[in-house]
Amino acid sequence: PRASFNLVYSILNQRIPHRLRPDILTAEQVRPAAELSFMFEAIWEKVSENYRKRGRYFQKDLIDFLLAVGWYSVFATVTLDGSECIAEVWNPATVYPRWEEALVECTHIFSPGAAQCRRLSERNGWGLKNVNDNATIYDYWWIERQTTSLSVHNSIAVGNQQVKSDTIETRLKRIPIFIAPCGGLPDTGEMAGDKWKAEIGQSFLATNENVLKTFNKWWTFMIQLLRDTAQPRTFERTASTKQIVQPETWYRRGAHYKIGSQDEIGFINPPAVPVELRSMQLDLEAMRDRGGPASSSFGSITNRMTSYAMSQVAATTNQLARDFHLGIIDLFSDIDNFF
């Protein structure tokens, strides 16, 4: 699974151009569009630079979470003075959205530790005291709708202490959290019941989940057979009541045993390994290749392959990454429009 993860990550980790489609631009719009594209390139380069200062990579964090859980979750906003655009990847497992016609509520619940809580308190003027390592931050956003307008609210609590009261973010027209599932199965509760939320936004490994579990059991069983062959069971035939072979000395290097003329030490030969185990391995490998990157994608080719077969393998791998690739494009498009 880790090799497949790295392969799909390398496919998705490409430079994404932030520009308008040239076929929809008039001659007068080409120059302003180029300037706009340059501006977005500068914005995202600054975001990546800020991430590198913290020893992290924005696009890597985004793709890793997307492949691992099948969701993306990014907080994006512009500073109050308008001098900088901010984008922060959040762990989707800590973000709880609710949609209607749009995202109407979203809560980010996380425990950054005492040191980070103190830094956040100093930066935002929360005035926290006696913060412990188990402190949990609740960052709650919601939309209040009026007849002709809407307002975005935000409130923050640390543990049971509210550090930011209900505040209307007048400069925002939407919740500045971009979250959505990618991949998975379509359902809203009618098919899978209460488990439908687990069916949307699945990892790319979800297709092969049961196959990989079965494959692990198969390998465990095969290794047990190999161990039983290398360390066979023994028997003793002797008239004495004293045991000749002691388990703690049997595998000792240079072990020596003295037996009588009527004594005998031997091995209990296990039955032969059934040939069906090998065919089962091939079947599992075929199912694994159908649900994920094929072995030939890693260069594991035992026989010659035609160019057509190789193109099919490449197309299958790209198909596996397509939903996640489209999710990344949609995410960057939404954030660019928001900025």
Degrees to nearest 5, angle at CA 258 with 252 and 259: 125
Average pLDDT, the chain: 84
pLDDT value at 177 more than 90: yes
- Per-residue pLDDT tens digits for 69-119: 889 999 999 888 888 889 999 999 999 999 888 899 999 999 888 888 888
pLDDT value at 312 more than 80: no
Residue 11 is predicted with a pLDDT of: 85
Residue 335 is predicted with a pLDDT of: 92
Please report which helix (H) or strand (E) contains residue 90, including its range: none
pTM, two decimals, is 0.79
Q: Count the Cβ atoms, other than its own, within 10 Å of residue 269.
A: 9
pLDDT value at 323 more than 80: yes
Report the distance separating Cα 89 and Cα 50, nearest Å: 12
pLDDT value at 248 more than 80: no
Picking from 198, 127, 113, 192, the residue whose alpha carbon sits closest to that of residue 156 is 127
- Per-residue pLDDT tens digits for 186-218: 777 777 677 777 778 888 888 888 888 998 998
Residue 305 is predicted with a pLDDT of: 66
Bridging pattern class, strands 71-78 and 177-181: antiparallel
Degrees to nearest 5, angle at CA 315 with 284 and 326: 105
Q: In Å, how far are 229, 234, 237 from 267, measured between CA atoms?
A: 10, 4, 11
pLDDT value at 184 more than 80: no
Please report which helix (H) or strand (E) contains residue 95, including its range: strand 95-99
- Where residue 303 falls among pLDDT bands split at 50, 70, 90? low
Report the distance separating Cα 299 and Cα 301, nearest Å: 6
- Where residue 154 falls among pLDDT bands split at 50, 70, 90? very high
Q: What is the CA radius of gyration of the chain?
A: 30
- Where residue 308 falls among pLDDT bands split at 50, 70, 90? low
pLDDT value at 307 more than 80: no
- Per-residue pLDDT tens digits for 20-46: 777 777 888 888 888 888 888 889 899
- Per-residue pLDDT tens digits for 258-299: 787 788 888 888 777 888 888 888 888 888 877 777 777 766
Q: In Å, how far are 152, 240, 242 from 262, measured between CA atoms?
A: 93, 10, 14
